[in-house]
Amino acid sequence: MKQLILISTFFLFVSCSSDTKTDTTETSSTESTNDFKSFVGDNALTFINAYVENCNKMKESVGIVEWANSNEFASNHFKTELEKIVTEANEADPEMGLGFDPIFDAQDYPEEGFEIDSFNSEPNFIIVIGKNMPDFRLTMNMVDSNGIWMVDGCGIVNIPNDKRSKR
């Protein structure tokens, strides 16, 4: 009888240990995803909230292309495409240009900044929402450039039409 109890206890212990291992692995995977999301999201928020601060300066703000070119979290691809969009719009209509902000994909913007709403790690799209305008959604695309996550798309810049936030 003692032998039967000892064997039963052993099998019970082994089966509990393997369940615990599986749970730990799942937690680690989830934690890695959350760390990744936080790291990428931090750079995205730093970028877009710095742009909000620049826009809030009104007459003292730096021009959009100049601002992007000086931002450490804007990819070279983003900078090139933004400059192309602005230049073409100004050539087509020197007085009006685009008529809206290509980074915000709108004329108005949440003056208190943005926070992360959702994240899709497969194509690295982040959706941010306005702190004081929760219905204002903005799609951003991130790329890994030598270990630094950079903004490669935002608003209409390098964001496919089907991925852009609806207005």
Residue-wise pLDDT tens digits, 86-115: 999 999 999 999 999 999 999 999 999 999
pLDDT score, position 31: 45
- Say which residues have a Cβ less than 8 Å from residue 105's Cβ, sequence separation at least 6: 138, 155, 156, 159, 164, 165, 167
Q: Residue 109 domain-assigned?
A: yes
Residue 62 belongs to a domain with what CATH number? 3.10.450.50
Domain range enclosing 49: 34-154
46: exposed, middle or buried (Cβ count in 10 Å: 0-12, 13-18, 19+): middle
CA-CA-CA-CA torsion sign (116, 118, 120, 126): negative
Q: Residue 61 domain-assigned?
A: yes
Q: Residue 142 domain-assigned?
A: yes
CA-CA-CA-CA torsion sign (160, 154, 128, 100): negative
Note down pLDDT in tens along the chain; length 167 residues: 444 443 444 334 334 444 433 333 333 334 444 555 566 789 999 999 999 999 999 888 899 999 999 999 999 999 999 999 999 999 999 999 999 999 999 999 999 999 999 987 777 999 999 999 999 999 999 999 998 999 999 999 999 999 999 88
pLDDT score, position 66: 97
pLDDT score, position 58: 85
Q: Residue 99 domain-assigned?
A: yes
Q: Residue 42 domain-assigned?
A: yes
**137-145 vs 148-154, strand pairing mode:** antiparallel
User: Number of structural domains, the chain?
Assistant: 1
pLDDT score, position 40: 78
- Nearest partner of 131 among 119, 113, 108, judged by Cα: 113
Q: Residue 114 domain-assigned?
A: yes
Q: Residue 159 domain-assigned?
A: no
Q: Residue 45 domain-assigned?
A: yes
pLDDT score, position 3: 46
Element (H, E) at 128: strand 125-130
The whole-model pTM stands at: 0.77
Q: Give the pLDDT confidence of 8-27 residue by residue, as tens digits.
A: 443 343 344 444 333 333 33
